[in-house]
Amino acid sequence: MSHHRQFYINGQWVEPKGQGTVDVVNPATEEAVATIALGNHEDVDLAVSAARKAFESYSQTSREERIALLEKIISVFQKRMGDVAEAISQEMGAPAKLSKMAQAPSGLGHFAVALEVLKDYQFEEQIGNTLVVKEPIGVCGLITPWNWPMNQLTCKVAPAIATGCTMVLKPSEVAPLSALLLAEILDEAGVPAGVFNLVNGDGPTVGAAMSGHRGIDMMSFTGSTNAGRHVMQNGAGTIKRVALELGGKSANILLDDVNFEKMVAHGVMSCMNNSGQSCNAPTRMLVPNSRMDEVVAIAQAVAAKVKPGDPNAEDTVIGPVASKTQWTKIQDLITQGIEEGAKVIAGGPGRPEGVSKGYYVKPTVFANVTNEMTVAREEIFGPVLSIIGYENEDDAVRIANDTQYGLSGYVSSGDIDRARNVARRIRTGMVHLNGAPLDNRAPFGGYKESGNGREWGHHGFEDFLEMKSIFGYVPKG
C-alpha cells in the first residue's frame, strides 16, 4: 500500500498542517491501496498564498510561453498514460479497458484541445475607440469528483493554465490518485511554482475553506447538485464567480420510426457504461407505449450481457461502483423503485450472483416506470435504467423536460430533421442525435439544477477570464 501524505504547494511536496488521514479503497476488493492526508484551512491558506504570488508573473506570460508549456505537459502526460490508467482502475474500479481507452485519454484530450484553442483565441476586441480585453480571472479553486477523475481534473486545469490563471485543486478524497499523478506530470513539465497547487481533503473542511476564501477569485466545481449548492452559498460571501457542473437525469427519446433493436441496445449500454457513474448518462429511456413490450424484451436481453466483474478481466463490461456509500445509496433506490411499483426486468437488489466482495451492482432495468417515481426523478449514479412510455411526440418532450435537471438529452429518429426539431425543444445543455458521441471541442454543461457555465473547447476558457473595457484606447481621429 502506498502513502501519499504530502500536498503539492508552490512547486514542492510539503507536509500537511492537517492531522487526519484516509484510506483510498479499491472498490473491487474493498481493500485499501493507498493512504492520503486530509488538509485543513491552514493548508488551503498556504496554497492560496502561493497561487496569488505566482499569479503576478504567470498572468503576464505570453501566448507563446503558455503554448510551449502545454506542449511540454502533453509530452510528459503521454509518457505516464499507463500509470494514469492503472491509478483510475485502482481508485474507482473502472475496467482496465475503459481506463486505457477512455478515462486516461480523456485527460490528454483536454490538454490537446486547450492547446489548439489557445493558438487562435481572441483575447482582445476593438469596439469603436474601446479595446475590450479578456484577462485571466485570478486564483481558481477547483473541486473535482471521482467518477471520471482525470477527465474532470484536466478539463479545469488545462484551460486555467492556457488562460494564465493559477489554481488550488481539491480532488475527491475517494479517488485522489489521478490528481497526485497529474501533480507529478505538471511538475516534470516545468509548470512554474505556485501556478498549480494540490490540497487533499473532504468537502466540509477543505472544500468549504476554498469556496469561502477571499483569496480565491473563482470556483469551478463538478459533483452532486446538493454539494454544488453549498459551494455556491459559500462563495456568495465574496461574490466570486462559481461555475458548476452538477447532476443529471437525462432522457433518451426513441421516436416511433427508429430501429428499436439497435437503439434500445445502444441506450442500455450507454446507461451502464462506467457502471452508470456519468452525470450525462441516458438513465430515462422514453419509448412509445405501443412498442413497450418489444422494448422490454430487447432491453432485458442486452442487460443480461452486461457482465460486472474484476476490472482486469477481459470479459468484464462494468466494474464496481466507487464506494460503499455509493453502493448503499443505489441499493436503497432500487428497493424504493420496487416499492413504488416499477417492474424489475433485469438485475435488482444485491450483488451479482457469485460475487461476495466488492461494491458491485447488478445491471438493473425497470419497466412500467412513471415520471413521478423516485427512480425517474433522482440521480441514482449507478447501472440503473428506467423505461418510461409516452403517447406521442409532444408527450415525450413534456416528460423529458419534467425534471429538475437539464444536463443532457438523447433523441433518435429515422428522420434527422424530426430528431433535430425535437432536440431544440429539450431544455438541456446538450443533446445527442441518433447516438452521436461527445465532442470535447464543444461546450459541456447544463441548464436548471444541472449547473451553470460551460467546460471544454473555447467555451471552456470563458469562466477563467474577466472582461475589461479600456475606453479611449484608440484616440479619436
- Whole-angstrom distance, CA of residue 260 vs CA of residue 412: 10
Whether the pLDDT of residue 466 is over 80: the answer is: yes
AA identity, residue 253: I
* Same domain? 435 vs 457: no
**What percent of the chain has pLDDT above 70?**
99
- 62-89 mean pLDDT: 98
Whether the pLDDT of residue 66 is over 60: the answer is: yes
* Same domain? 186 vs 56: yes
> What's the whole-model pTM score?
0.97
* Same domain? 38 vs 113: yes
Please spell the DSSP secondary structure of 51-81, one letter per residue. Answer: HHHHHHHHTT--HHHHHHHHHHHHHHHHHTH
Establish whether 245 is a catalytic residue: yes
- Whole-angstrom distance, CA of residue 112 vs CA of residue 159: 10
Q: Quick check: is 148 in a domain?
A: yes
* Same domain? 19 vs 140: yes
Distances (CA, A) of 102 to 96, 98, 149, 184, 432: 10, 5, 11, 21, 18
* Same domain? 385 vs 432: yes
* Same domain? 157 vs 66: yes
Confidence of residue 476 (pLDDT cuts 50, 70, 90): confident
Q: Which of 245, 378, 379, 455 is an active site residue?
A: 245
For the segment 360-388, what is each residue's pLDDT rounded down to a tens digit?
999 999 999 999 999 999 999 999 999 99
Residue written as grid cell 475503459 = 98
For the segment 169-224, what is each residue's pLDDT rounded down to a tens digit?
999 999 999 999 999 999 999 999 999 999 999 999 999 999 999 999 999 999 99
* Same domain? 235 vs 273: no
- Whole-angstrom distance, CA of residue 152 vs CA of residue 158: 10
Angle between helices 393-401 and 416-425 (to 10 degrees): 40
Q: What is the CATH number of the domain that holds 195?
A: 3.40.605.10
The residues pairing with 286 across neighbouring beta strands, listed in sequence order, are 253, 388
Q: Quick check: is 426 in a domain?
A: yes
Q: What is the CATH number of the domain that holds 402?
A: 3.40.309.10
Q: Are 108 and 185 in contact (CB under 8 A)?
A: no
**What percent of the chain has pLDDT above 90?**
99
The residues pairing with 139 across neighbouring beta strands, listed in sequence order, are 166
- 136-154 mean pLDDT: 98
Q: Quick check: is 310 in a domain?
A: yes
Q: What is the pLDDT of residue 105?
A: 98
Q: Quick check: is 52 in a domain?
A: yes
What is the SS3 string spanning 307-363? CECCCCCCCCCECCCCCHHHHHHHHHHHHHHHHCCCEEEECCCCCCCCCCCCCCCCC
Please state the domain count of the chain: 2
* Same domain? 313 vs 242: no
Element (H, E) at 372: none
* Same domain? 300 vs 356: yes
Q: Quick check: is 74 in a domain?
A: yes
- 250-263 mean pLDDT: 98
User: Cell triple for residue 231?
Assistant: 459551494
Q: What is the pLDDT of residue 2?
A: 66
Burial of 58 (0-12, 13-18, 19+ CB in 10 A): buried
Q: Quick check: is 242 in a domain?
A: yes
Q: What is the pLDDT of residue 28?
A: 98
Confidence of residue 1 (pLDDT cuts 50, 70, 90): low
Q: Quick check: is 330 in a domain?
A: yes
Domain residues for 261?
Answer: 251-440
246 three-state secondary structure: coil
* Same domain? 201 vs 65: yes
* Same domain? 158 vs 216: yes
Give the other-Cβ count within 10 Å of 60's Cβ.
Answer: 10
- Whole-angstrom distance, CA of residue 127 vs CA of residue 474: 10
Q: Quick check: is 477 in a domain?
A: no
Residue written as grid cell 494514469 = 84
Average model confidence (pLDDT) for the chain?
97
Q: What is the pLDDT of residue 416?
A: 98
- 415-429 mean pLDDT: 98
Q: Are 38 and 21 in contact (CB under 8 A)?
A: yes
* Same domain? 314 vs 401: yes
Q: What is the pLDDT of residue 4?
A: 85
- 21-48 mean pLDDT: 97
